[in-house]
Amino acid sequence: MSESQRIAKTIAQAGICSRREAEKLIEQGKVKVNNKVITSPALNVSERDEIMVHDKLLNTKAKTTRLFIYHKPQGLVCTRKDEQDRPTIFDRLPQNLPRLINIGRLDLNSEGLLLLTTDGDLAQKMMRPQTGLKRTYRVRAIGHTTQKQLDKLRRGLRLEDERFRPMEIDFLHKDEETKSEGKNVWYQVTLTEGKNREIRRAFEAINLKVNRLLRLSYGPFELGDIPRGEVAEISQHKLKKFMATLK
């Protein structure tokens, strides 16, 4: 950090949390600047300032942004600590990795590509719907539906006071293990936002119950053949090229 910038951005870039979460910490009085508690994120800081988060000194020296793909298994929650004491992704990640922030989430029963970064500011940018990054999933669902109902999701669906953006939905095949008509059908779904359990809730609205959900890609980053539970780092060349395209 060579020039002054908003304190929440500085905290995010240090990999502590996202910019939005940093603003909440500030409002809760968890951040000090030059040994004074601040409660408003409307403050610019520079490398000359001493910043403490939870009474721990923040390292504001420039760090290389890193990005990793984790093949998340089912049964893990995407949080650092779970109130129900369920296993988390951070319990299972290799110990030699730097402090990481997950970019978006996959729910407990979902699996596949999960991006992790050292830069909370990058995480915040990638999660914004305005960025328009596509997320693609393979989805297995049970139930009976029609093309007309699927077209509702393709046009954009409203559930009560919430609206889901249009989804790209392609029929893949029926599960060979299931002989009964209309059960265990595989779809490929692409969307550009990540609302809580979005695909599961949208499918339920058209009489389909999702029983398996695997994320294949997020923006230009693909799961490929990374084994379940393993991590792969994105090259600096590819990462810098991608970051240059972000709004």
**Strand segments (E) across 7-134:** 31-33, 36-38, 44-45, 51-53, 56-57, 67-72, 101-103, 111-117
pTM for this prediction: 0.77
pLDDT, residue 179, reads 46
pLDDT, residue 26, reads 94
- CB 119 within 8 Å of CB 15: yes
pLDDT, residue 2, reads 53
pLDDT, residue 175, reads 66
Q: Which residues of the chain have pLDDT under 70?
A: 1-2, 60-62, 174-182, 247
**Exposed, middle or buried by CB within 10 Å (0-12, 13-18, 19+), for 124?**
buried
Q: What is the distance between the alpha carbons of residues 207 and 143, in angstroms, rounded to a whole number?
A: 6
Q: Of the listed 107, 119, 121, 225, which one is catalytic? A: 107
Is 107 an active-site residue? yes
pLDDT, residue 204, reads 94
User: Rounded to the nearest 5°, which phi and psi values hold at 5?
Assistant: -155, 170
> What residue ranges define each of the domains in the chain, with the CATH number in brackets?
5-57 (3.10.290.10), 67-130+220-243 (3.30.70.580), 134-218 (3.30.70.1560)
